Amino acid sequence: MPLIHVYMRAGKPAAYRQAILDGLYRALRDSLDVPEGDHFMTITEHLASDFRTGGAYGVLRSEDVIYIDITVFNTRTAAQKATLFRRIVEVLNEKPGVRPEDVFIVVHDAPKENWSVGNGLAVA
């Protein structure tokens, strides 16, 4: 049940944004074996004046960088997350053509008792 939010500069066409969401879903299915229909994703676009990036950590990012926040149950292993990172970069490079250097990912682990996915009920 990953919850994903993507932050990016404004100006890309709808097809580009849709390819990002489709690619993320594909990477989740391939890496974390999420169930069919597990689509909980949003994109927020920012004006260039409200969006910064840098070359920290030896990575030369462009203005096309995308920041991806993924919140998952805290049951995912470090190996699963490493596989997810690689797969996201692969699929987003294929389509819509995001450079690997421009994919910045953070995974947040949350215990199941911190989740309610509907009806005000905690996840069991």
Break the chain into its structural domains and give their ranges: 3-114
CATH homologous superfamily of domain 3-114?
A: Macrophage Migration Inhibitory Factor (3.30.429.10)
DSSP states of 7-72 = EEETT--HHHHHHHHHHHHHHHHHHH-PPTT---EEEEEE-GGG-----GGG----TT-EEEEEEE
Per-residue pLDDT in tens (0 to 9) along the chain, 124 residues: 899 999 999 999 999 999 999 999 999 999 998 999 999 999 999 999 999 999 999 999 999 999 999 999 999 999 999 999 999 999 999 999 999 999 999 999 999 899 998 899 888 7
Q: Please state the pTM of the whole predicted model.
A: 0.94
